Structure 1
Amino acid sequence: MTSRVPLVSATDTPAGSRALLDAVHGAFGATPNMFRAVANSPAALQAMWGFFGALSGPGGGTIPAKLGEQIAVAVADRNACEYCLAAHTALGRKAGATPAEMSTAQAGESADPATAAALRFALQLVEQRGQVSDADVAALRAAGFNDGQIVEMLAHVALNLFTNYVNVAFAVPVDFPGVKLLK
């Protein structure tokens, strides 16, 4: 399948996207297709890359990278985003998750009670369009998360909705090892 928007290359990158794509390339050792699609808009690329950096860059969020990737695969599976499922499964492995941990996270589950609570909350946000209750937030506190971490979980979900929608809406070709959706 061909992407519905061009995947910019080094020769046709908008000037406002060049430096950011160089940073993406430096971080990944390659320029993933998703970023090449988003680079059509320097503003959108800046927003996406800034969001990634704020949550996972140096001095970034307090949620461990492994949990962020587990949230990402759960959200990707719910949104039928093959691109994000593949990318975040690979990134989760890089963050120390086992194949079994990533597979169960994809289903929104975990043997670890805190991770299970975070995944339940993330999927509630997606499925209920942000409509969660006092009890849902209290369950995260009871699982050991502080308010900053709870807000970060919502930020991870929001970032993943952005990336899922980019990849699904624009049919961005997957350039990570494929992972089968559960649905």
Structure 2
Amino acid sequence: MTNRYPMAELADLPEDIRQSILAVQEKAGFVPNVFLALARRPAEWRAFFAYHDALMLKEEGSLTKGDREMIVTATSAENHCLYCVVAHGALLRIYEKKPLVADQVAVNWRKADITPRQRAMLEFAMKVCHRADEIRDEDFALLHAHGFSDEDAWDIAAITAFFGLSNRMANFAGMQPNAEFFLLGRVPREPRAA
């Protein structure tokens, strides 16, 4: 399967978007397809990545980068989003320093090699993913028992909801993950030339 919509050409993009994408390329060594797929609509690209960064690069709260990527990987698997499972699974492997964890979480997070705290986090995320209208005080109490605050619960819910949108757009558009994502965090990384 290929993307249903043409990817934007880097040279044709507004300068702010082009510079942001070049910064990602410099850091990652490649341009993740999502950046060029969404850049065909610059205003939406800016809004999407502003909210993405607010959620995923946030320093406050007790969620680690690995926790955040675990939420994305698990809920994206529930939403059958190949792009997000592969891309965020790669980041999950890197942040957790566990080459098997992303596959485990994507296939069956209940049997994955994760902590009880992470299991409680994913239980809450899955309820938000499928039955947010049924969230009750008891759900917050279960999170509190594992050291999560109400603000952490907001973060879990916001990441789940945001990536629900992302999953649906990626699926609708036929967005394909870059080949580079499949190996990230599975094999030792080659030292980069200076």
TM-score by length of 1: 0.85
Q: Give the distance between the partners of 1:29 and 1:51, measured in 2 at CA.
A: 23
Per the TM alignment, residue 73 of structure 1 is displaced from its structure 2 partner at its CA by 1.1
Q: Which residue of 2 aligns with 1:104?
A: 104
Q: Which residue of 1 aligns with 2:182?
A: 177
Residues 117-170 of structure 1, C-alpha deviations (whole Å, 9 max, x = no match)? 000111111111453122112111112101111111112112211221121010
**Identical columns (%):** 29
- The AA in structure 2 aligned to 1:172 is M
Q: Give the distance between the partners of 2:62 and 2:35, measured in 1 at CA.
A: 25
Structure 1 runs (4+) deviating above 4 angstroms are: none
Task: Describe the shift of the 1:129–1:149 C-alpha distance in structure 2 as closer, same or farther (beyond 3 A).
Answer: closer
Q: How does 1:15-164 map to 2 (within 5 A)?
A: 17-57=17-57, 59=59, 62-106=62-106, 107-109=108-110, 110=112, 111-164=114-167
Q: Give the distance between the partners of 1:40 and 1:144, measured in 2 at CA.
A: 42
Residues 22-79 of structure 1, C-alpha deviations (whole Å, 9 max, x = no match)? 3433443321111111111112211222223223337466410111111111111111
Per the TM alignment, residue 5 of structure 1 is displaced from its structure 2 partner at its CA by 1.6
- Superposition RMSD on alpha carbons, in Å? 2.2
Structure (1 or 2) with the greater helix fraction: 2
- The AA in structure 2 aligned to 1:150 is A
Higher mean C-alpha deviation, range 125-134 or range 89-98: 125-134
Could you list the runs of 5+ residues in structure 1 that have no partner in the other structure?
A: 179-183
Q: Give the distance between the partners of 2:61 and 2:46, measured in 1 at CA.
A: 18
Which is higher, the Rg of structure 1 or of structure 2?
2
TM-score by length of 2: 0.81
Q: Give the distance between the partners of 2:23 and 2:45, measured in 1 at CA.
A: 11
Higher mean C-alpha deviation, range 57-66 or range 133-142: 57-66
Could you list the runs of 5+ residues in structure 2 that have no partner in the other structure?
A: 184-194
- The AA in structure 2 aligned to 1:9 is E
Assess if the C-alpha contact under 8 Å between 1:53 and 1:60 holds in 2. no
Assess if the C-alpha contact under 8 Å between 1:118 and 1:153 holds in 2. yes
Aligned length: 178
**Secondary structure in 2 matching 1:140:** helix
Higher mean C-alpha deviation, range 50-59 or range 80-89: 50-59
